[in-house]
Chain A
Amino acid sequence: MPALQELESAYLRWKGDAGFRADLDGMLREYAGRPTPLYFAQNLTKRAGGAKIFLKREDLLHGGAHKINNTLGQALLAKRMGKHRVIAETGAGQHGVATAIACAALSLKAEVYMGSEDIKRQKLNAYRMELLGAELHSVTAGSKTLKDAINEALRDWATNVNTTYYLIGSVVGPHPYPVIVRDFQSVIGKEIRRQMLRREGRLPDALVACVGGGSNAMGTFHEFVERRGVKLIGVEAGGAGRGKNAASLAEGRKGVLHGMLTYVLEDEDGQIRETQSVSAGLDYPGVGPEHSYLKENERATYVTAKDGEALRAFHLLAEVEGILPALESAHAVAYAVKMARSMRKDQSIVVTLSGRGDKDVQIVAKEAGVNL
């Protein structure tokens, strides 16, 4: 607890500091590649036959996903706090890679916890982290996926709290993490707003983003929460259907996991359930508590896309727009296409493409029955 208070006061101190902002903005612009384009997906729009679909291209960032917005911010914070050892958890490996990148660039030592099952599914990302100088710890406890990697990272932090900064990758965990990660990711929504006003002269009618822990969705939504005219839609992993998914908001109950009260997938005794999704990055039995709040007060709507729908959206976007989306982001694309159909042509949807799909090519091939 004192560690969380120390983190909160450090964050509050530095977030308004002009030098800190300048360092972060400089890194985001010159190193990570911000601002990212807002692309009018003409062919996809034509295919859907309804509202205009715009893609917020977080997939073009250095490292291949939105994760770097947060890791650069928190790594700079770690440095200001005088902590030179950084630990992180990772599911699909995107946050691990983004942590390794930020730490290499800022000369910090990075150690990443990753479930052994996820390492098997995402060998490439696991090796990328090592290439980037991070030390990889394989976690063999429990379901051997993201939640177990978080457990192990929290145990490490409890042991080494005086010297170590825990760099959480999503809007989850104990306060102040959900706030810190949301704030660093909110650059996504801020840019969308500016870009839509410049291009279309108005705000979009809907924002669509995938939700695992929910960081890219929170980053997309935050700027628009007070603008009631903009619908906020989060798309969870519907997996193989009822009971076999990672849809905490759609199928879960309120529970306490990883230091937060939020919707979780659990059995009748309160044991956390194992999740299932074709995308490792959405494979988490909880969700950021602010999403639970937005669901309860009905400001945002949460839906699901199943594995098959996400895979079809992956192929569709590749074929008509020449973009391979991460399987996580493909969930958002799948729902946006469906939604656009029921909307007028003068309306618009922005879909956040949270990451690129290169890491998923092997899974997609396997699902298509192709032997690489």
Chain B
Amino acid sequence: MSEISKTFAGLAPREGALVAYVMGGDPDPDSCSKVIDAVVAGGADILELGIPFSDPLADGKSIQAATVRALSAGTTPRRVLELAKYAKEKHHVPIALMTYFNIFYSQGFENFLRLARSHDVDGIIIPDLPLDEASRYARISRRVGVDNILFAAPTTPAGRMRMLASNTSGFLYLVSILGVTGARRSVRRSTLALIAFAHRYTRGKVPLAVGFGISTPEHVREIIRAGADGVVVGSSIVDRVAGYREGKAKVLRNVEEYVRSLKAATRG
């Protein structure tokens, strides 16, 4: 059983997992390790660590801005892998690496995956890897021993949902709404219905975590109550990191407290 699966399996009844996203190398590679410390201290169950990519198609303004900050600070994919190793050694937290397919492809998919594994990465999340291509990469991931976490969306029909549920590992990442990442004001009723629909295919098979647009403890509570096994929060953490230069102690405290409030909400 992978570290990520173990985390879901070890939750209390009705408790959800908090997957917290940090852009690797934001605001710069050294300071990022402090952001990781704060996120874990706040109670993140799984760390989703992003490798900045020049063309982040699935991301909204917040993560685009974080991408620019990280890249202009000279962050490379290898440096982000070092951050993963740091996080694992210091905090023993499960790590899902999130980036776009070309970062993997340019180094040779398996080659880069093995490198990631050797840096203690437990899972990968690649938003521009479509299901039709995913099965061969899922095979490689199984061989290397890394979870390949796939996405489902509000437009995903039943047949595809079934395929996704059996091809994904670690958890199924359900995109809550049509669109890109970024905080939204409220959880739509359609999202709650979507969770119920997706749950029909994942229940008893693989955990279901919901992301995109989730930004408050109230959102987290609603999503977990609707039956999700976990939530993914990214943009609103990243937004808090944006002010790092102006006052890092305050930002780190703010990030930690914010994550703590989200984690508390996963318990109902």
Residues of A within 8 A of B (CB): 1-3, 141-142, 147-148, 151, 154-155, 158-162, 253-259, 264, 266, 268-272
Chain B 115-138 interface 0/1 with A at a Cβ cutoff of 8 Å (1 = within): 000000000000010111000000
B19 at interface, CB cutoff 8 A: no
A270 touches B178 (CB 8 A): no
Sample of 7 A–B contacts (CB below 8 Å): A2-B160, A161-B155, A258-B57, A264-B102, A271-B53, A272-B54, A272-B102
Which single residue of chain B is at the shortest CB-CB distance from A161?
A: B178
B76 at interface, CB cutoff 8 A: yes
Give the contacting residue for B55; candidates A2, A142, A268; CB below 8 A: A142
**Given A160-B178, A161-B178, A270-B107: A147 touches B77 (CB 8 Å cut-off):** no
Once the chains are docked, how many angstroms separate the CA of A3 from the CA of B157?
11
**Given A2-B155, A3-B155, A151-B57: A159 touches B102 (CB 8 Å cut-off):** no
B101 at interface, CB cutoff 8 A: yes
B178 touches A155 (CB 8 A): no
Once the chains are docked, how many angstroms separate the CA of A290 from the CA of B54?
24
Once the chains are docked, how many angstroms separate the CA of A147 from the CA of B53?
13
What's the nearest-Cβ distance from chain A to residue B132, in Å? 8
* Chain A residues near B178 (CB-CB < 8 A): 158-162
Which of B53, B55, B156, B179 has the most A CB atoms < 10 Å from its CB?
Answer: B55
Give the contacting residue for A142; candidates B54, B131, B156; CB below 8 A: B54
B180 touches A257 (CB 8 A): no
Once the chains are docked, how many angstroms separate the CA of A151 from the CA of B56?
8
What's the nearest-Cβ distance from chain B to residue A208, in Å? 31
B54 touches A155 (CB 8 A): no
* Chain A residues near B179 (CB-CB < 8 A): 155, 158-159
What's the nearest-Cβ distance from chain A to residue B268, in Å? 31
Once the chains are docked, how many angstroms separate the CA of A264 from the CA of B53?
14
Across the A-B interface, the 10 shortest Cβ-Cβ residue pairs: A270-B106, A159-B179, A271-B54, A272-B54, A2-B155, A270-B103, A256-B102, A270-B102, A256-B101, A155-B180
B106 touches A269 (CB 8 A): yes
* Chain B residues near A2 (CB-CB < 8 A): 155-157, 160
Known: A2-B160, A147-B55, A271-B71. 20 other contacts (CB 8 A): A1-B130, A1-B131, A142-B55, A151-B57, A155-B179, A158-B58, A158-B179, A158-B180, A161-B178, A253-B106, A255-B105, A256-B105, A256-B128, A257-B55, A269-B106, A270-B77, A270-B102, A270-B104, A270-B107, A271-B103
A154 touches B57 (CB 8 A): yes
* Chain B residues near A142 (CB-CB < 8 A): 54-55
What's the nearest-Cβ distance from chain B to residue A118, in Å? 16
What's the nearest-Cβ distance from chain B to residue A214, in Å? 19
Give the contacting residue for A257; candidates B76, B77, B102; CB below 8 A: B102
Which of B54, B100, B102 has the most A CB atoms < 10 Å from its CB?
Answer: B54
> SS class of chain A's interface: helix, strand, loop or mixed?
mixed
What total of A-B pairs shows CB separation below 8 Å?
Answer: 74
* Chain A residues near B100 (CB-CB < 8 A): 256
A155 touches B155 (CB 8 A): no
Once the chains are docked, how many angstroms separate the CA of A151 from the CA of B61?
12
What's the nearest-Cβ distance from chain A to residue B200, in Å? 18
* Chain B residues near A155 (CB-CB < 8 A): 57-58, 60, 179-180
B64 at interface, CB cutoff 8 A: yes
* Chain A residues near B101 (CB-CB < 8 A): 256
B64 touches A141 (CB 8 A): yes
B180 touches A269 (CB 8 A): no
Once the chains are docked, how many angstroms separate the CA of A3 from the CA of B106?
28
Once the chains are docked, how many angstroms separate the CA of A24 from the CA of B244?
56
* Chain B residues near A268 (CB-CB < 8 A): 106
**Given A159-B178, A159-B179, A160-B178: A151 touches B103 (CB 8 Å cut-off):** no
Once the chains are docked, how many angstroms separate the CA of A271 from the CA of B100?
10
* Chain B residues near A1 (CB-CB < 8 A): 130-132, 155-156, 160
Once the chains are docked, how many angstroms separate the CA of A269 from the CA of B106?
7
Which single residue of chain A is at the shortest CB-CB distance from B53?
A: A271
Once the chains are docked, how many angstroms separate the CA of A159 from the CA of B178?
5
Which single residue of chain A is at the shortest CB-CB distance from B156?
A: A2
Which of B77, B106, B130 has the most A CB atoms < 10 Å from its CB?
Answer: B106
B window 42-61: CB within 8 A of A: 53-58, 60
* Chain A residues near B105 (CB-CB < 8 A): 254-256, 270
* Chain B residues near A272 (CB-CB < 8 A): 54-55, 102
What's the nearest-Cβ distance from chain B to residue A236, in Å? 20
Which single residue of chain B is at the shortest CB-CB distance from A6?
A: B155
**Given A154-B57, A155-B179, A160-B178: A269 touches B156 (CB 8 Å cut-off):** no
* Chain A residues near B106 (CB-CB < 8 A): 253, 255, 266, 268-270
